[in-house]
Structure 1
Amino acid sequence: MKRAMSERHASDQEQGAWNQLAMFHARVSAMVGRSLQDRFGLSLTEYSALEALAEAPGADGLRMQVLADTVGLNQSSVSRLVARLEREDLVERNLNQRDRRGVFTTITQAGREMLGEAMPVYSQTLAAAFDRLGADPELRELVERIGR
């Protein structure tokens, strides 16, 4: 059963804040994604997946649905993402030995090495994006609130 949506409408201030946040996210994602693609052939989503897998507790990695939720993709999109990373030997899929129904994805040594090389570029580009967008009069206040 679906819950009824609230009758309340977003205020002009809420709409403006959302539009600023969406613009900020799009610009930062484009800058960081372009840098990762140019240097390592990785999309921002692929980088995020490698990072999530590297931080996964235990040796099993992450269940595919958890990885999908973590990187903001649906099940079929994360399957394609993992297949691409698997072709590059950056991740591998395995059946969990305790729960044979669950497919888990783990980062490989090559994936850890790629992530280790990409992390400084990600961090530097992210900092540059914050600096650049912090100078934009439309986004300055937002950048100051979330990034400093």
Structure 2
Amino acid sequence: MPGMAGPRWLNRQEMEAWKAFLEASHLVERRVEHQLRERAGLSHPQYEILVRLADAPGGALRMTELAELVVTSKSGLTYQVAKLEEWGLVRRYRCPTDDRGVNAVITEEGRGKLRETAPEHVAVVRSSLIDLLDDTQKQAIAEGLDAVVRALRVAGVD
């Protein structure tokens, strides 16, 4: 059809960047997931939920906001929070200002689990990514990925 442009194929440099990103992100995620499951009995999403709640004012967030922060579906978040609630690490309650809303709050047991898990988790993050890069590489990755996150958030992709 006249006037229709074909796909913008990746050039060699772009393809190398894409493949390196995929391989590195998969390898880092596998190491982090393995460490958390083996040493703490948590999945990476469960750990991230605890971290996000611990960092929130009063240790609580609305479930919709939490789902956005951990980049997951509401149903996926509900499942993970239910598991954390079973283990006494998180508690859910109705939002006091909106009957339709539900909040999640980290419990003292959840904070304890984070304190216990964090040192080894940080060591794996360091050995799998942070300590493998020099300062210039860390800055370039942080700036580049931040630009991607901002653009995708503005576009409504999550």
With the shorter chain as reference, the TM-score category is 0.7 to 0.9
Q: How big is each residue's C-alpha offset from its partner over 1:87-120, in whole Å with a ceiling of 9 and x where there is no partner? A: 0010011111122221111101000000111110
Task: Specify the alignment match of 2:40 in structure 1.
Answer: 40
Percentage identity across paired residues of the two chains: 33
Higher relative CO (Cα under 8 Å, sequence separation at least 6) belongs to: 1
Task: Specify the alignment match of 1:26 in structure 2.
Answer: 26
Question: Which TM-score applies when normalising by structure 2?
Answer: 0.75
The match for 1:146 among 118, 138, 143 is: 138
Alignment partners' CA distance in 2, 1:116 and 1:60: 14
Structure 2 residue matching 1:104: 3-state secondary structure = strand
Q: Give yes or no for contact 1:60–1:104 (8 Å, CA) kept in 2.
A: no
Structure 1 residue matching 2:129: 3-state secondary structure = helix
Amino acid at match of 2:31: M
Segments of 5+ residues of structure 1 without an aligned counterpart are 1-6, 135-142
Task: Specify the alignment match of 2:65 in structure 1.
Answer: 66
Amino acid at match of 2:138: I
Alignment partners' CA distance in 2, 1:27 and 1:60: 31
In structure 2, do the counterparts of structure 1 residues 60 and 50 end up closer, same or farther at CA, with 3 Å as the change threshold?
A: closer
Q: Give yes or no for contact 2:130–2:138 (8 Å, CA) kept in 1.
A: no
Residue-pair matches, total:
133
Task: Specify the alignment match of 2:118 in structure 1.
Answer: 119
Alignment partners' CA distance in 1, 2:68 and 2:8: 28
Alignment partners' CA distance in 2, 1:99 and 1:10: 48
Alignment partners' CA distance in 2, 1:60 and 1:120: 20
Amino acid at match of 2:19: N
Q: Give yes or no for contact 2:89–2:110 (8 Å, CA) kept in 1.
A: yes
Q: Once the 2 structures are TM-superposed, how far is the Cα of residue 131 of structure 1 from its aligned partner?
A: 7.1
In structure 2, do the counterparts of structure 1 residues 111 and 69 end up closer, same or farther at CA, with 3 Å as the change threshold?
A: same
Task: Specify the alignment match of 1:93 in structure 2.
Answer: 92
Alignment partners' CA distance in 2, 1:86 and 1:33: 20
Task: Specify the alignment match of 1:77 in structure 2.
Answer: 76
In structure 2, do the counterparts of structure 1 residues 103 and 116 end up closer, same or farther at CA, with 3 Å as the change threshold?
A: same
Q: How big is each residue's C-alpha offset from its partner over 1:52-95, in whole Å with a ceiling of 9 and x where there is no partner? A: 010012x2611112111211211111110011110001001111
Question: Which TM-score applies when normalising by structure 1?
Answer: 0.80
Segments of 5+ residues of structure 2 without an aligned counterpart are 1-6, 141-158
Amino acid at match of 2:16: G
Residue 15 of structure 2 corresponds to residue 15 of structure 1: yes
Q: Give yes or no for contact 2:59–2:106 (8 Å, CA) kept in 1.
A: no
Structure 1 residue matching 2:91: 3-state secondary structure = strand
